[in-house]
Structure 1
């Protein structure tokens, strides 16, 4: 079995952050989103993976390489325009051939700590339905593909973003397909928004009488489409870390809870309350770093208080009132200005400079 990981999204809802960083490479617990996805795919038993990219193809291939450091083989293909998930399957046909495959949305995080997803995928691989869907109950299913499922788990109907959903079962960003899906993607026509919808392709299989099954997953699942989503995923993944201190901690500092201090990082006269990860080469001095915070490599955090935030490589932060619920881009500088109030929430991109002063 192979895997198709879709990594072509532009991240419009995360701008201006994604003007300089593709959302698939935003670090969560100091690892890019795609690294979490590829690691999960490998844990599901698949090592032949195609990354389907878009405008960020060069940045993604530079970051992920050939996959050997993750224990997989990566192949890269490019989807020139975002014409839908079914079109993505068509684009990847040279890689997929007639093999069974998983399709995984590359901006989704599934924290499969208890192996539920692995069990579902294992069942799909043994049973080999034309399509297998992972679904989850959601409060408002109107933003998702929505499945109507009978008591045996057979999918009766699948509708994309219905205005009046018939169920609360949303399709999670992980699909199983046999080669039957290729006939379906060739048979459907673009939707009203001009895309070849994977939901239409799956519905085509259902209408033809092919077996389409769904299994329910109740664990953590979130895409990284918005700033709040990034912070939520980061919090969850940090909570899965085990304490690992390999950097330098001076006697005046205190660590509490789950804390990862990477090699070469230094903590000076500071309090770190986990779950927190501090990257290689970073200095934290005279500061408090609170739960839900990941700080990338080669940063300087001085005389401030950070909590529930994601700070990328090379950022410099020095503001007495601190930051919370914030995203700070690579090599951004947040410091003191001559006047004005401090900010409590920031989403700033690479190389930005923010100055704040307490009146």
Structure 2
């Protein structure tokens, strides 16, 4: 079995971050979302992985390398434009050959993994197997309608009146039968080759399509709120350790990870939290559910429930909560005599200022 990871898309809901980095590389607990995806694939015994990406393929390649650090062999596959999930399978046709494969959306977090789903596919080997998850409002998703035996009867994309609360999530298992099904469909109304149409084609041909309900933690990290929620979840399961230096005037409580070369000086950190390698936390207070990236400097700052990316500098600012601060960003207090707030902000960004 092989794996196909989709790491394209423009990430419009994560702007401005997605202007400068693929959304799949945004970190959760100081590790890119894509790393969690690749680790889940490795854990089901797959070695050969193709990653489909567009104009950010060089960023993806620089982040994952040849895959050896994951125990994988990674092949990069370029898609000229976002033309749908089924089109990504077309792009990967030569790589996939006649092997079974799992297709995994690279911005989806599934904890603790997909081992049970993989075992179910290998046991029954349906033409296709979809992972589904109960959601309160299925109208924004592809929805699976199931027979009593768990087989899929019909797939409906974003139904106005859903007959099921089982949404398709970002993991699919396929036999080579999917290739003929994709060849038989045309673009949807939005001009894309939809994987749901290809699976429906299998159903129309009488093929067995199975649904497995995923009862673990699942989140599509498409928005800042989703990324922060994933950060809280991963940090909650992390055990504290200190590999850097914490001075005698500082206090750690709860599970706190201090990375190699990081320094904590006259500061208080309440876990769960992680401080990246080489960062300096000085005269600051870090509250729970916070991830500080590598080589950051925080001085005279208080923040919590936030993610700070590598190389950021925060000085003299307080009460920062629920925030995502980009790479090498600077957040500083205004001069005492300032008449108001001074803001330098890029396209599609958002900022909230206390009244």
TM-score category (smaller protein): over 0.9
String of CA shifts for 1:41-81, please: whole Å, max 9, x gaps. Answer: 11122111001011111111011100001111100001111
**1:161 & 1:90 partners in 2: Cα distance?**
24
Aligned partner of 2:164 in structure 1 is 167
Alignment of 1:179-198 (within 5 A): 179-198=176-195
Post-superposition shift, 1:98? Answer: 0.8
Segments of 5+ residues of structure 2 without an aligned counterpart are none
Aligned partner of 1:62 in structure 2 is 62
Q: Which of 305, 310, 313 does residue 313 from structure 1 map onto?
A: 310
Aligned partner of 1:143 in structure 2 is 140
Post-superposition shift, 1:3? Answer: 0.2
String of CA shifts for 1:308-357, please: whole Å, max 9, x gaps. Answer: 111011100013323111111111000022336679xx99779x9x9x9x
Post-superposition shift, 1:262? Answer: 0.5
**2:345 & 2:208 partners in 1: Cα distance?**
47
**1:174 & 1:191 partners in 2: Cα distance?**
21
Q: Which of 227, 248, 254 does residue 230 from structure 1 map onto?
A: 227
Aligned partner of 1:280 in structure 2 is 277
Post-superposition shift, 1:279? Answer: 0.5
Cα contact 1:328–1:348 (8 A) shared by 2: no
Alignment of 1:268-347 (within 5 A): 268-338=265-335, 339=338
RMSD: 2.1
Alignment of 1:339-358 (within 5 A): 339=338
Aligned partner of 1:105 in structure 2 is 105
**2:346 & 2:314 partners in 1: Cα distance?**
14
Cα contact 1:330–1:349 (8 A) shared by 2: no
**1:182 & 1:306 partners in 2: Cα distance?**
50
Secondary structure of 1:9's counterpart equals coil
**2:340 & 2:9 partners in 1: Cα distance?**
36
What is the TM-score with the length of structure 1 in the denominator? 0.93
Post-superposition shift, 1:126? Answer: 2.0
Secondary structure of 1:192's counterpart equals coil
Cα contact 1:134–1:171 (8 A) shared by 2: yes
Secondary structure of 2:278's counterpart equals coil
Aligned partner of 1:95 in structure 2 is 95
String of CA shifts for 1:265-320, please: whole Å, max 9, x gaps. Answer: 00111111111110011000111111111111100011111111110111000133
Secondary structure of 1:58's counterpart equals helix
Post-superposition shift, 1:169? Answer: 0.2
Aligned partner of 1:16 in structure 2 is 16
Alignment of 1:69-84 (within 5 A): 69-84=69-84
Post-superposition shift, 1:160? Answer: 1.2
Q: Structure 1 residue runs of 4+, over 4 Å off?
A: 340-343, 346-350
Post-superposition shift, 1:16? Answer: 1.3
Cα contact 2:334–2:341 (8 A) shared by 1: no
String of CA shifts for 1:175-214, please: whole Å, max 9, x gaps. Answer: 0000000011110111111111100100110111000000
